[in-house]
Each structure stands twice: as structure tokens, then as C-alpha cells.
């Protein structure tokens, strides 16, 4: 039996408390997957992205935890970046006890994967934080997601038993009945699975998750000097973006120098540069760009809560108090340059009053540069 989960899901937490019962019926293999990756694959949105559904979700899980006598405490905000927790699970070989401990850290103790609390969890579990950034851990998690999508896993938590899939916390009893063949309506279930499909809505966007050109090999060595230069800037590895850019050596060389200067040599503080990059990514729906830069923005002084607010720019006014003035101006300028191209005199004057001229020039250049980045990513279908 394979159990697919993401620590971001409170329903997965509830089901994690039933793993011992499931394991008694049939050995359980825990498989961490990035829920956002499944949503992207199936062109779906999560419950946290639909406000009424989000409200219902947390009301429902609070009730279920109370009903089933499961310790439950909401984290400071949701959604949050679950990648450190998913990688921690992989580093611990996804053992049931370790998975349950990590779930309790979030949903019973109310912690997020950041700060001193997370360091204490790593110490408790005997894992160095550098292990979470290792290539084999990242690759294993990516493989999990790819294989889960290929096996028709569309959400978390999901239990896979043979050719049967059971989705959601409320399917736990159903899975146990199937395993024990207790009150399992075989014929009726078979008929239900083969119900003919009627009308279909036209998909809004293509469902492919493949880049439009195949990525060059991750261990690419030539042209040697250029590849080594890019690897040094990237900390030793080629990103997927690099593996597309390197189809053209002049493009990759110029890109690496130009974006390297934007990232590391500008006078404007990195907080505002990274915030601009994230805003451009949100407006242009360049998820790859956002996932690369949101963690850096957080390290520079942002927060998971700010990134969550940024993902929903339509309701930014209700979350404006989270941001200081120059952050808000950075967001407004990034959004206006990206959506409208033209910048209003009023907004530019506000930015001019908030930033020295050299920093304002660099901020405008950063926004323009990362529009180039995001449009390349989206055109190449690198998400």
C-alpha cells in the first residue's frame, strides 16, 4: 500500500494518525509529494485558493479533529512552503514514525518550517539542514511527484492499493474495507468506475507539464568554460532554466552575466529586488520563477505570510498592512509595469520619493529583466 501525502494538507495530518491501523491491514509505504505539483499537472487549484472552500476546509478539519479526539492546532498562516518538510521526510527514508512526527510539528504544535523551532526539529530527528538541499533528496521528491501523477494521483492524502485509489481522510474506512474485503461492493464499484463521461468543459490551458524543448542533460559539460561559470553562480548545479538557455551559448553567457549582476551587484537592497521578481512571476503566472525567488525573499526579510498574500494580488488591499511602504511601492510598480507597461506619474513620483535615483533605476531594470525571464519560462512551458 502506498500513502501519498504533503505536510501542507490538514486532511493528510488527520489520516497520518491512522497509519498504524492501515499498516496493520497491509504494510504502508509513505510517499511524500508536492501537492502544488499535482495541482499543476491536473490543471487544478487547491482549496486554499478558493476563499469559501478555504473557510470550509479549516472549519471542517477543526470539527473532524475534535470529533476524532486528534490533537489539532493551526499554524500561524496557510498555505506555507512545505518543501523543507517534504525533503526532511525523504532524508529520513519516509519512515512512518518520522512522518507522523513531522505532521505533529505542524498540525498539533502549530509550527512552520522556519526559524528556531524548525532547527530544533532537525536536531531532534538528527538531520543537518544541508541534507535537505542535497541533489539526491531533491531528485527523490521530484521522482515521487512525477510517478504519482503517472499513477493518476490527483490529491492528498491518497491511498493506493493495487489498482484502487482512495482519496481523502474520509476514505480511510473504505480502504480498510477493501483490504479486508469486509462489506466491499465489488460489482457496484466496478460499474461506478466505468460510468461513461458526458459533457466536458473546454480546458483553459494545455495540460502538458513537459517543457516544449527537451532539457539538456543535468551533467552537461560543454562548452566547458561557460558551463563551469554558470555552475559557480548556481552553487554547483545547472537549473532547468540553464538547461534550456544552453541551447544557445551566446544567450546563456549573456543571460548569466546580466542576471548575475542584477542578482548580486545592484545597490538596491535584495529584499526589494526579490519582491519585484516574485510579483512579476505572479502576474505572468510563471510558477517556476516564483518558487525560485520566494524562499530568497523570505530569507531577506519577507515572510511566508507575505508570499501567500502576494499570490493573490486581487485582494492585496486587504493584506496591505503586512508590507512596509517601500515593499508596497515595489509591488505596485512591478504590477503596473508588467500588466500595463506604462507607469503612472503619481506612482513613479511616490517611488522617486521612497528610493534614491540609482536604486529606482535598478528596481525598474529588475522588473524589466524578470519580465524577460518569466516570459521565456512561460513560452517554454517551464513550470
Whole-number pLDDT of residue 208:
47
Whole-number pLDDT of residue 163:
85
Q: Residue 203: is its pLDDT beyond 70?
A: no
Top mean pLDDT of 18-27, 59-68, 209-218 is at 59-68
C-beta of residue 329 within 8 angstroms of C-beta of residue 354: yes
pLDDT bucket at 155, cuts 50 / 70 / 90? very high
- Contacts of residue 248, defined as CB under 8 A and 6 or more positions apart, other chains included, come to none
Are β-strands 29-32 and 2-5 bridged in parallel, bridged antiparallel, or unpaired?
A: parallel
Whole-number pLDDT of residue 202:
58
Q: What is the mean pLDDT of the chain?
A: 91
Whole-number pLDDT of residue 358:
95
Under CATH, what is the fold of the domain 266-379?
A: AhpD-like (1.20.1290)
**Which residue, among 192, 17, 174, has the nearest Cα to 101 in the 3D structure?**
17
Check residues 321 and 127 and name the one with the higher pLDDT.
127
**What does the domain layout of the chain look like in residue ranges?**
2-180, 266-379
Q: Residue 44: is its pLDDT beyond 90?
A: no
% the chain with pLDDT above 90 = 63
pLDDT bucket at 207, cuts 50 / 70 / 90? very low
CATH 3.40.30.10: does it fit domain 2-180?
Answer: yes
Whole-number pLDDT of residue 98:
97
pLDDT bucket at 311, cuts 50 / 70 / 90? confident
Same fold yes or no, 2-180 and 266-379: no
Whole-number pLDDT of residue 316:
80
Whole-number pLDDT of residue 219:
86
Rounded to the nearest 10 degrees, how much is the dihedral formed by the CA atoms of 48, 53, 59, 62? -50
312/305 Cα distance (integer angstroms): 12
88/121 Cα distance (integer angstroms): 10
Whole-number pLDDT of residue 356:
95
Entry pTM: 0.58
* Residue linked to cell 480546458: 203
Q: Residue 276: is its pLDDT beyond 50?
A: yes
C-beta of residue 279 within 8 angstroms of C-beta of residue 330: yes
Average pLDDT score over residue span 106-111: 97
- Among 6-15, 232-241, 245-254, 310-319, which stretch is predicted with the lowest mean pLDDT? 310-319
Q: Residue 190: is its pLDDT beyond 50?
A: yes
- Among 11-25, 41-55, 116-130, which stretch is predicted with the lowest mean pLDDT? 41-55
pLDDT bucket at 166, cuts 50 / 70 / 90? very high
77/99 Cα distance (integer angstroms): 21
Amino acid at each position: 500500500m502506498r500513502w501519498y501525502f504533503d505536510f501542507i494538507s490538514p486532511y493528510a495530518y488527520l489520516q497520518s494518525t491512522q497509519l498504524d491501523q492501515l499498516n496493520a491491514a497491509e504494510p504502508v509505504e509513505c510517499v511524500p509529494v508536492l501537492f502544488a505539483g499535482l495541482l499543476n499537472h491536473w490543471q487544478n487549484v487547491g482549496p486554499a485558493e478558493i476563499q469559501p472552500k478555504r473557510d470550509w476546509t479549516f472549519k471542517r478539519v477543526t470539527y473532524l479533529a475534535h470529533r476524532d479526539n486528534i490533537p489539532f492546532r493551526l499554524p500561524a498562516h496557510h498555505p506555507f512552503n512545505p518543501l523543507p518538510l517534504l525533503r526532511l521526510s525523504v532524508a529520513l527514508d519516509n519512515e512512518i514514525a518520522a512522518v507522523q512526527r513531522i505532521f505533529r510539528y505542524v498540525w498539533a504544535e502549530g509550527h512552520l518550517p522556519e526559524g528556531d523551532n524548525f532547527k530544533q526539529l532537525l536536531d531532534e530527528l538528527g538531520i543537518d539542514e544541508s541534507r535537505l538541499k542535497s541533489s539526491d533528496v531533491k531528485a527523490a521528491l521530484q521522482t515521487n511527484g512525477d510517478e504519482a501523477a503517472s499513477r493518476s494521483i490527483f490529491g492528498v492524502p491518497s491511498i493506493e492499493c493495487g489498482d484502487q485509489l482512495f482519496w481523502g481522510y474520509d476514505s480511510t474506512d473504505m480502504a480498510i474495507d477493501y483490504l479486508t474485503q469486509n462489506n466491499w461492493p465489488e460489482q457496484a464499484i466496478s460499474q461506478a468506475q466505468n460510468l461513461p463521461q458526458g459533457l466536458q468543459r473546454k480546458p483553459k490551458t494545455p495540460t502538458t507539464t513537459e517543457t516544449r524543448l527537451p532539457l539538456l542533460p543535468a551533467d552537461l559539460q560543454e562548452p566547458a568554460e561557460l558551463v563551469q561559470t554558470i555552475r559557480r553562480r548556481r552553487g554547483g548545479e545547472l537549473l532547468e532554466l540553464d538547461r534550456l538557455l544552453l541551447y544557445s551559448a551566446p544567450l546563456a553567457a549573456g543571460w548569466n552575466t546580466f542576471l548575475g549582476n542584477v542578482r548580486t551587484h545592484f545597490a538596491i537592497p535584495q529584499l526589494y529586488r526579490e519582491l519585484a521578481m516574485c510579483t512579476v512571476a505572479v502576474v505572468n503566472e510563471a510558477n517556476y520563477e516564483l518558487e525560485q525567488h520566494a524562499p530568497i525573499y523570505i530569507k531577506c526579510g519577507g515572510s511566508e505570510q507575505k508570499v501567500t498574500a502576494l499570490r493573490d494580488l486581487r485582494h492585496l488591499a486587504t493584506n496591505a498592512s503586512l508590507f512596509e511602504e517601500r515593499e508596497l511601492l515595489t509591488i505596485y510598480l512591478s504590477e503596473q509595469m508588467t500588466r500595463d507597461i506604462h507607469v503612472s506619474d503619481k506612482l513613479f513620483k511616490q517611488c522617486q520619493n521612497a528610493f534614491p535615483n540609482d536604486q529606482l533605476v535598478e528596481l525598474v531594470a529588475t522588473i524589466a529583466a524578470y519580465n524577460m525571464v518569466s516570459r521565456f519560462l512561460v513560452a517554454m512551458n517551464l513550470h
